[in-house]
Chains A and B, each alone.
Chain A
């Protein structure tokens, strides 16, 4: 008879177990945590069962650092690259463990919920519901709140086929809800500053679009730009450049074209594209510049279109 051994985790096993680990870390550190996306969505019939590739959790913003410190202590190290600009502010960090085949994405807010992240978390927490993964009970958003969160996740990429397909699949499920539940969805959107960002989804499923009942803490323009962007690679750099005062732009352009060694190697490590030799790094830098040059015209057109909309609206 073989005894217990430590060997490779399979992805499907790791995801379920990882949610349980994250919940325990949160419990040990006294941080409120909601298990989001992935298998929980499937359990709540908000998507079909499908393999998940990572673990996603949303934590109360005040407990974010405390939870991350404990994750580091137990071997889940922050492996993300946060120097690359984003159209919306950074909303999550990626922790990795050498023995686990998936990332643990810790969100301290969720893009599209544009009210204060702490207030949004309180609203979602108030509506939490139990879920079980790997025989451990966790807290998750209730199906109404989870549908809103998932819809925002898909709408963020609504210019892509992936985003459109996923949003439509979710909408087809939510559209079957009764009137009372759909009204609840509309009220939740208003209570989290998501009335505008969720509006296309709310209209699609027949839920009311109610004026936001909270002050927005995050720019709806950034959200709109992110949701409507048709390019990805270069656009965030152009957006960031446009946000900077003129005197900081030259330095930013230089750093965008020729990242610091640390930043570049970190980004390459994520793409797993480069060996460590100086020659290989130089070749990778040149490849990146060529890719950027080729992507620039489409990104520039996207930027003009999206920022032009802002000007037209003001």
Chain B
């Protein structure tokens, strides 16, 4: 997956120590999604937009693990979340010149 990964702006979400619960506001009929454990930790790493590689680095630091150990799982998580519409991938749309 290339480009920046960022959180969807159409989300409501709450977090506690061990989990994050998200509701897609652009699809109100969808069930709320719960992220717990390491999934919640990866979500926390998406607070600033970045490439998947940036996320891998942040998660590796958070878990004090080599990047190679977490890379595949972070990439899979991002792909799933993009599919669910809670993360968006790709460069942000450019503003038209004034």
Contact = CB atoms under 8 A, between A and B. Distances in A.
Interface of A: 1-7, 9-10, 12-13, 16-17, 20-21, 24-25, 73-75, 99-100, 133-136
B34 interface: yes
Interface residues of B, number: 30
Contacts of B60: none
Q: Which 9 A-B pairs have the closest CB atoms?
A: A20-B12, A134-B12, A74-B28, A6-B31, A1-B73, A4-B33, A1-B38, A24-B25, A74-B29
Interface of B: 11-14, 16, 21-23, 25, 28-29, 31-39, 42, 70, 73-74, 76-77, 80-81, 84, 86
A6 B32 contact: yes
B7 to A, nearest CB: 10
Contacts of B14: 12-13, 16-17, 134-135
A73 B80 CA distance: 26
A51 to B, nearest CB: 13
A4 B80 contact: yes
A5 B73 CA distance: 16
Contact of A6 (B16, B34, B38, B81): B34
A100 B32 CA distance: 9
B28 A6 contact: no
Given A9-B21, A20-B25, A21-B23, A3 B77 contact: yes
A21 B25 contact: yes
- B interface secondary structure, majority: mixed
Contacts of A2: 35-39
A17 B23 contact: yes
A1 B42 contact: yes
B33 A136 contact: no
Task: Find the residue from A2, A12, A74, A133 having the highest chain B CB count within 10 A.
Answer: A2
Task: Find the residue from A4, A73, A136 having the highest chain B CB count within 10 A.
Answer: A4
Contacts of B70: 1
A3 B39 contact: yes
B29 A75 contact: yes
23 contacts: A1-B39, A1-B42, A2-B36, A3-B81, A4-B33, A4-B35, A4-B81, A4-B84, A6-B31, A6-B34, A9-B32, A13-B14, A13-B16, A13-B21, A20-B12, A21-B28, A24-B28, A25-B28, A74-B28, A74-B29, A100-B32, A134-B13, A135-B11
